[in-house]
Amino acid sequence: LNDNPSHYKITLSGIVKSPKINFDPPFLMLMPVPLDVKTETAINIIPKDYLRRSRIRVELPELELENGDRIYPFSARFPKGQDIVPSSDGTNKELICHISFRSSRPVSFLGNMFFIDEEEN
Question: Does residue 100 contact residue 74 with C-beta atoms inside 8 Å?
Answer: yes
> For residue range 71-92, what is the model confidence (pLDDT) as tens digits?
999 999 999 999 998 877 778 8
CA angle 82, 83, 88 (to 5 degrees): 145
Average pLDDT, integer, range 91-103? 93
Kindly report the number of other CB atoms within 10 A of residue 74's CB atom. Answer: 19
Q: Which domains are delineated in the chain? A: 20-116 (2.60.40)
The DSSP output letter for 13 is -
Look up the pTM and report it. 0.79
State pLDDT tens for residues 24-42: 999 888 888 999 999 999 9
The CB density around residue 8, as the number of other CB atoms within 10 Å, is 6
What span, in angstroms and rounded, lies between the C-alpha atoms of 47 and 93? Answer: 7
pLDDT of residue 47: 92
DSSP structural state of residue 67 = T
CA distance 71 to 36: 13
